[in-house]
Structures are given as structure tokens and as C-alpha cells.
Chains A and B, each alone.
With several copies, the nearest count.
Chain A
């Protein structure tokens, strides 16, 4: 029945979440940031044995419980109610960041304000305008085995993919993959590679919407969102 879904009319955030979900390995430990990254878990089969971790010490978070079954002692890093999957554990903040910084986290998916052609992410402050703070993002980007940035391609008509970030960086580490509703991009030593285009989007449209030089190597396929994860 999957063939019947028209991905070109899918909500851009869902396109991103669904594409990111395809990157998740069975049995891995994954941290999902607030916003679009949070949606990723909806696109995963629970039988994969993936454990979702949050900075506040949850290992094995599940969906928000039904009304009346929430508990104020069990929340995600945004303070929203979650449940515990079978085999879940809870740890203190020092241990939680030990997992993150010590290379025990297989994947983190974060939102971004900017990512540049070198794969540098900026996502914690806009000087003179708004300073949310880095929370756990600097540790996550520095420590996770794999970092995926998941975000809408542009904000207020401006590309969030830039040649060099002018916002303060989150880490000097190069992220592994950038997923937007228009493109999947991978920063490598010799440039920012365009790997896939979004549903119904042409390579030219991606190039036009992107303020960074993209390396386009051969035929660029469209995201195959019909693939089961």
C-alpha cells in the first residue's frame, strides 16, 4: 500500500523525519533533539530494538502515555511526558553525559540554525537576537558516533545551508549527514556532496535554494521514502 502515498505532498517535517529514520540501525542507542528530530521515532518499527536516550537520564524512552497515565518524574529533555519501554533505565546527569561524551551513543539527530560546507553546525545562539543556550548539543555533536542534522532547508527565505557559518559553532566536529525536505547532503574532505533530492525536487532547485557550493557527482537519486524501516 506504500506505493499509494504521494510523498511530494507530504508535510516537509515528516519527509525529513522519515528519511532520517532510514539511517537508524537496529539495536542502536539514539538521541533525538527537540522539534523535527523528535518526529523520527514515529517512523521506526518497535521491533528494531532501538533505545532512545535523552540528556536528562532516560535510556529507553517511549511515546507519551495516554492522558491520566503520565508521571511528573518521567520526561524527555524538553520536559514533556514520556513512557519507559521494557528494559528502560534511568541514570543521573553525569552518567548520561558519560554515555554521550564517551562514544557510547550511536547517533544523535539535531536541529540546526546553520550548517556549512565543512559540516560545521551552529544551533545555540543568534548574537544580539536570541540566545537559547547549547544545553547538551555541544556534548552530543562532539561525542556521538554519528551526527545527523535534520532541519527545514531555509528559514525566512534564507538558506540554512551556508558556505561558512556566521553564527557561533556548536562543535568543530564535522557532522555526518544533513537531511532537509529538499536534500540529503554529506560533508566530506573535498566538499559538501548532494546525495539525494527531496520528493519532486530537482537538482537545480536544490542548488538554487542552497547558499553553499554542492558537489554533484553523477546522477542524484530522489529520496526513496517508500522503503520500509
Chain B
């Protein structure tokens, strides 16, 4: 059985300067309760690994707005003016990674693979300074695995073993990030008794999940 913890305990657990994966796609499938609690707590110098910068009010947006983020690693920042502004002001470092490369690097980090060999990015700015590997006559970019201290993910249902399900396009990066961090914290929409989620419906086995957020009293 996994320990259900409060948002206050999550805030206490994550130190300034932590390297954090945050799930979601344009804010869909992001653990919003955790994001709000962290933003309110005034964390500093976080490195956030997240698909996109979403908008100021959703996804990683509230953390950026609150000045908690030192570095952003992700694929898209086009609709978050805060990110554009902080980047130009030099207070936010942005590392852009093609989306398919980003998710595969996280998967590699979580699944014990040494990296990703992808054609994506070859011949572009993204390839600069990176090694290439030739396999059977084709050239690929070698991209390194990504891991984090914490993965903060959102789930539809969770049981007390920690088994998770996701719903529709709110799935996105959640099951992949659940593989690739030292501590995985899930914010489910509901917690159900053990045995209620059929084995074939589990998208993240509970053995990967360290903590789940308590139900509101």
C-alpha cells in the first residue's frame, strides 16, 4: 500500500533547485493541485521537464508566473507570454527539444536504455554539438536519456496499491514520466478500492508510484 500524502507534504518534500518532470499537454493531464501548491509555496530554481509551457493559468504556467522556474526543458513555449518575457530577460533558461525526442528520452531514462537514436533534428540547429551514429547505412542523432528527482503526474483513477488509469488525451506524458524519476507523485481524480481497476486497464502499475495525493476530507 502506498502512502497517501497531502499537498503540504508534497511541498515539503520538493526542495528548491529540484529537477522535476511535470506531465500534461497544454495543461491537459497536468496535476493542477500540486502545481498550485508549489507555486504558492514560492519554490526557487526548479528545473522543469514538461512537454510545453501551456498558458499562464494552466500546465506549468503558474510556476513560471510565480518565478519558481530557473530552467525549462520542453518542446513548445509559443502561447505563454510569461515564458517569452522571462527568457528574453535572461531569468529563465529554455532548452527546446522536439516532442518525439523528448518523450523518447524520458522513456530511455526510465527503461534503462542508453539513449535515443532518432532521425528527428538531423540537419537542424537541434543537432549542433550532438554525436551522430550510423546504423545500417542511415545516420541518426544520439540523444541522451532524461531523468528527474521528481515526477508529478495526474491520473484519472488510482487504487491504494498505486495503480493508475488515465483518461483520453489526458494520458499523454503521464505513463512515461512515471518511469523516469526517483520519486513519483500522482494526483488522481479519484481513489478506488484495490481490485476495482481491471489488470488490463492499469496504465501505470503501482510499483512505479511512490505517493498519491490524499482525497480532500
Interface residues of A (CB under 8 A from B): 27, 29, 49, 51, 53-60, 71-79, 84, 86-94, 96-104, 124, 130-139, 142-143, 168-172
Q: Which residues of B contact A171 (CB under 8 A)?
A: 120, 122-124
Q: Which residues of A contact B195 (CB under 8 A)?
A: 86-87
Q: How far is the CB of A196 from chain B (nearest CB, A)?
A: 29
Q: Are B168 and A84 in contact (CB under 8 A)?
A: yes
Q: Are B75 and A92 in contact (CB under 8 A)?
A: no
B residues 139-191 touching A (CB-CB < 8 Å): 156, 159-161, 163, 166-176, 179
- 9 A-B residue pairs with Cβ-Cβ distance under 8 Å, sorted by A, are A56-B26, A60-B161, A73-B170, A79-B54, A93-B25, A98-B112, A99-B205, A138-B124, A142-B120
Q: Are B121 and A93 in contact (CB under 8 A)?
A: no
Q: Are B168 and A136 in contact (CB under 8 A)?
A: no
Partner of A90, one of B119, B123, B161, B169: B169
Q: Are B176 and A92 in contact (CB under 8 A)?
A: yes
B residues 13-45 touching A (CB-CB < 8 Å): 25-29
Partner of A131, one of B84, B107, B156: B84
Q: How far is the CB of B35 from chain A (nearest CB, A)?
A: 15
Besides the known contacts A59-B205, A135-B99, A139-B100, 12 further A-B residue pairs in the complex with CB atoms under 8 A apart: A57-B25, A72-B28, A79-B27, A87-B195, A92-B203, A94-B176, A96-B172, A98-B111, A101-B113, A102-B111, A136-B99, A136-B100
Question: Which of B54, B122, B168 has the most CB atoms of chain A within a 10 A radius of its CB?
Answer: B168
Q: Which residues of B contact A143 (CB under 8 A)?
A: 100, 112, 119-120
Q: Are B76 and A135 in contact (CB under 8 A)?
A: yes
Q: Are A55 and B99 in contact (CB under 8 A)?
A: yes
B136 contacts chain A at the CB level, 8 A cutoff: no
Given A84-B199, A132-B76, A54 contacting B123 (CB threshold 8 A): no
Q: Are B172 and A92 in contact (CB under 8 A)?
A: yes
Q: Are B96 and A60 in contact (CB under 8 A)?
A: no
B64 contacts chain A at the CB level, 8 A cutoff: no
Q: Are A133 and B199 in contact (CB under 8 A)?
A: no
Q: How far is the CB of B125 from chain A (nearest CB, A)?
A: 5
Q: Are B104 and A56 in contact (CB under 8 A)?
A: no
Q: Which residues of A contact B27 (CB under 8 A)?
A: 79
Partner of A51, one of B94, B125, B207: B207
B110 contacts chain A at the CB level, 8 A cutoff: yes
Q: Are A139 and B120 in contact (CB under 8 A)?
A: yes
Q: Are A79 and B25 in contact (CB under 8 A)?
A: yes
Q: Which residues of B contact A55 (CB under 8 A)?
A: 25, 99
Q: Are A56 and B76 in contact (CB under 8 A)?
A: no
Residue of chain A at shortest CB distance from B203: A92
Residue of chain A at shortest CB distance from B162: A87
9 shortest A-B CB distances, which residue pairs?
A132-B78, A172-B123, A79-B26, A97-B100, A87-B161, A89-B202, A101-B112, A139-B100, A98-B111
B47 contacts chain A at the CB level, 8 A cutoff: no
Q: How far is the CB of B159 from chain A (nearest CB, A)?
A: 6
Partner of B77, one of A75, A86, A132, A142: A132
Q: Are A101 and B84 in contact (CB under 8 A)?
A: no
Given A98-B110, A99-B207, A104-B179, A134 contacting B168 (CB threshold 8 A): no
Q: Are A73 and B99 in contact (CB under 8 A)?
A: no
Given A97-B104, A98-B111, A170 contacting B179 (CB threshold 8 A): no
B126 contacts chain A at the CB level, 8 A cutoff: yes
Q: Are A94 and B1 in contact (CB under 8 A)?
A: no
Q: Which residues of A contact B159 (CB under 8 A)?
A: 87
Given A57-B172, A73-B167, A172-B122, A135 contacting B52 (CB threshold 8 A): yes
Q: Which residues of A contact B175 (CB under 8 A)?
A: 92
Given A94-B103, A98-B112, A143-B112, A134 contacting B98 (CB threshold 8 A): yes
Residue of chain A at shortest CB distance from B23: A93
Q: Are B99 and A139 in contact (CB under 8 A)?
A: yes
B74 contacts chain A at the CB level, 8 A cutoff: yes
Given A101-B100, A134-B98, A92 contacting B171 (CB threshold 8 A): yes
Residue of chain A at shortest CB distance from B52: A135
Q: How far is the CB of B138 from chain A (nearest CB, A)?
A: 12
